[in-house]
Amino acid sequence: MITRAETTQTAPTAPQDAGTSPSGTALHATGVHRHFGSVRAVDGVDLSVDRGEIVALLGPNGAGKTTFLDMVLGFTEPTSGTLSVLGTSPQRAVRAGRVGAVLQTEGLLADLTVKETVSMVAACHPRYIPVDEALERAGAARIATRKVKKCSGGERQRLRFALALLTEPDLLLLDEPTAGMDVRARQEFWAAMHAEAERGRTVIFATHYLQEASDFADRIVLLRQGRVVVDGSVQEVTGTGQRTLSCRWIGPGTPQALAVAHGIPDDVTHQGDRVRFTTGDTDALARSILTDGLGEDLEIAAASLDQVFLDLTADTATETTTDTADSTEQKGR
């Protein structure tokens, strides 16, 4: 089987360009629910992803990310709602080799080498790119002769990436793809991923690295309790958060008095000789400071993605049900 994979490879059809697709849509979800008994793991998701987009799927543990990705991969069916992938059902898209996935699940054979693993999986497909090409594009060529059991967590993720590329998929789904990688390895991984996106592929990835989402995604989708609570570009998402204004206070009066006047009595802090205010209306606050001569050297900054994430997911007490759902699903897989 390994020999056949190395000698009978056939190049698959390249992914369709978004502009030539009838709909231009890689994924379309309307009112998608997934319930486990009384638990609503996914609770009415509406989401449309265009071809060629790089989308980060964020959310606290139990937000429904894994459940949603499993539905996109056809592992489980929605309880209600409609979900299409590349204009067809998830199962058909996966069977046609149009969807590739990098998951954190096990299933790799420990005693095979990296190249033997890719060759064996390639032999299961009617069409695939050359094994060496898949390894090179995934950044796994240098570990081709290493046995899987000797690979680090990050190296195994590169192997999974190579497996995902074999059929030249139109859509790549990644669940915590850089788990176990150091900073340099993550940068190299995302450089490779951007190269794949430039080939016309759509990339949807779930991650806990907020900086990673900020650096590499075109779009952020934040799930909370099984629902989409934020969807937009990094700039749009950070624009929904509280901004900060800092200045060197020169009086008269006190920063606390100004904060009370603007309805933010608990959102003023001191940092050396500077005062920092957190508010949704920095324009009004800046006008007061400048008009009344209260401060100088003003600096205004948008909220970081980390802060927006914390603000929108602060209430975790009611998220126990979705935590349970994701846990239940993992046990069943």
Q: What is the pLDDT of residue 120?
A: 96
Q: Can you tell me which residue has the tokens 């204009």?
A: 87
Residue 84 backbone zone (phi > 0: left; psi -120 to 50: alpha; other: beta): beta
Could you tell me how many residues make up the chain? 333
CB 143 within 8 A of CB 114: yes
Q: Are 140 and 159 in contact (CB under 8 A)?
A: yes
Query: pTM for this one?
Result: 0.74
DSSP E strands in the chain: the ranges are: 25-36, 39-50, 54-58, 80-85, 99-102, 171-175, 202-206, 219-224, 227-232, 243-249, 268-271, 274-279, 295-301
- For residue 149, what pLDDT band results from cuts at 50, 70 and 90? very high
Residue 165's nearest CA partner among 127, 214, 111 is 127
- Cα distance between residue 45 and residue 31, in whole Å: 5
* pLDDT tens sequence across 41-91: 999 999 999 998 999 999 888 899 999 999 999 999 999 999 999 999 999
Q: Which three-class secondary structure state does DSSP give residue 228?
A: strand
In this predicted structure, what is the pLDDT of residue 301? 82
Pick the CATH number of 25-237 from 3.40.50.300, 3.30.1330.10, 3.90.920.10, 3.30.300.130: 3.40.50.300
- Would you say domain 240-314 falls under CATH 3.40.630? no
> Rounded to whole angstroms, how far apart are CA atoms 293 and 275?
14
Phi, psi of 31 (to 5 degrees): 55, 40
User: pLDDT tens across 267-282, in order?
Assistant: 788 888 899 898 878 8
- The per-residue pLDDT for 278 is 85
Q: pLDDT tens across 294-313, in order? A: 999 999 887 777 777 777 77
In one letter, which amino acid is 82? Answer: T
**Residue 241 CA to its chain's centroid (Å):** 20
pLDDT one-digit tens code per residue, 222-258: 999 999 998 988 878 877 667 889 999 998 889 999 9
Which run of H or of E encompasses 214? helix 210-216
Q: Which residues, including other chains, have CB under 8 Å from residue 197's CB and lie 6 or more apart?
A: 52, 54, 203
Q: Quick one: pLDDT at residue 241?
A: 66
Q: b/e string for 84-95 if b means 16 or more Cβ within 10 A?
A: bbbbeebeebbe
The tens digit of pLDDT for each residue in 191-227 reads 888 888 888 899 999 988 888 888 889 999 999 999 9
pLDDT value of residue 8: 38
pLDDT at residue number 197: 86
**pLDDT at residue 314, as a whole number:** 67
| Cβ atoms of residues 216 and 189 within 8 Å | no
Residue with more model confidence, 315 or 258 = 258
> Residue 333: pLDDT band by 50, 70, 90 thresholds?
very low
Mapped onto helix, strand or coil, the DSSP state of residue 86 is: coil
Domain boundaries, the chain: 25-237, 240-314
What is 9-47 written as a DSSP string?
Answer: --PPPPPPPGGGSSS-EEEEEEEEEEEETTEEEEEEEEE
Side-chain half-sphere CA neighbours of 290 within 13 A: 11
User: SS3 for 274?
Assistant: strand
Computed over its alpha carbons, how large is the radius of gyration of the chain?
24
What is the Cα–Cα distance from 294 to 258, expressed in whole angstroms? 9
Q: Which pLDDT does position 73 carry in this prediction? A: 96
